[in-house]
Amino acid sequence: MSDNVLLAEERGSVVILTLNRPEVMNAFNFILLHELKEKIEELRFRPDVRVVIIIGAGQKAFCAGADLKERITLSDVQVKEFIFTIRNLFTSIEYLNKPVIAAVNGVALGGGTELALAGDIRIASLNATMGLTETRLAIIPGAGGTQRLPRLVGRGKAKELIFTGKRVGAEEALQIGLVNQICEQDVLLDKCMEMAQLICETGPIAIEQAKYAINFGLETDLTTGLAIESNAYWVTIPTEDRLEGIAAFREKRKPVYKGK
Ligand code: COA
């Protein structure tokens, strides 16, 4: 089934996933959706993998959204299947038990921006353009965009971007909080790796619990969110890593965490 549409490279505890359909700006067809889904589920159960970076192949695009050449061949039911699959896939990325960094290395439109939104941290190259352009095709963002964009940049800005379908460049994306950082394209992966390495120095269970607390806590009222945080904290208390962190501090050395 594989046409190498998804590449996976392991650098220590970091996995770099490359959407590899540069001839169509790394747009998602069914094959790429299924391969990414399979890979994410595999990574979920790889305790040795601490961070996932997602990038697009080539210099031009992160991902141009749904493959519109495939789309034109699909029946209405198949379009529904595509949307159902991509929405669930991006949700599984959002709730992956380890951080996901989107390396937005060029065009990220429609599902491309939605994929970046499902990540935890977004770093974009200066040539990046992002946008939820679906309304220009008389459809709406269907892979979480109507929900995640307003949660990230506020409802006013999100409505402006979705209603106009306009694209923003890297500088504006940074200014509105759509991305965390911007940089030259040739150092984008290095910047993402730097961020990933910092994360790799932390306790794996702590990161999993912090992500859980942020993701679930933000979707509720403060009191419930604080209760979720409290429970997430309790998970870290009986861990070997917590004792290792304190011991390393006392012994003035770097901690060695095992995720236990
Ligand atoms: N699906 C399928 N093919 C796509 C694609 C997509 N989403 N986006 C780009 N491509 C293809 C183009 O058709 C072209 O292939 P061709 O050479 O066989 O014609 C190739 O990728 C290069 O794209 P091109 O349009 O020539 O490059 P560009 O730099 O001028 O523009 C985009 C790039 C991404 C801005 C433009 O292609 C575009 O607007 N694509 C649609 C993006 C979109 O609306 N996505 C949301 C889908 S819901």
Structural domain boundaries in the chain: 2-200, 204-251
Tens place of pLDDT for every residue, the chain, 260 residues?
457 999 999 999 999 999 999 999 999 999 999 999 999 999 999 999 999 999 999 999 999 999 999 999 999 999 999 999 999 999 999 999 999 999 999 999 999 999 999 999 999 999 999 999 999 999 999 999 999 999 999 999 999 999 999 999 999 999 999 999 999 999 999 999 999 999 999 999 999 999 999 999 999 999 999 999 999 999 999 999 999 999 999 999 999 999 99
Active site (annotated) includes residue 259: no
Active site (annotated) includes residue 111: yes
Ligand 1 centre to CA of 130 (Å) is: 14
Ligand 1 centre to CA of 68 (Å) is: 8
Question: 2-200 has which CATH code?
Answer: 3.90.226.10
Ligand 1 neighbours, Cβ below 6 Å, are 24-25, 27, 64-69, 107, 109-111, 133-134, 137
174: number of Cβ within 10 Å: 19
Question: What is the topology classification, in CATH, of domain 204-251?
Answer: Lyase 2-enoyl-coa Hydratase; Chain  A, domain 2 (1.10.12)
Residue nearest to atom 13 of ligand 1 (CA): 24
Tally the residues of the chain.
Answer: 260
CA distance 52 to 193: 10
Active site (annotated) includes residue 210: no
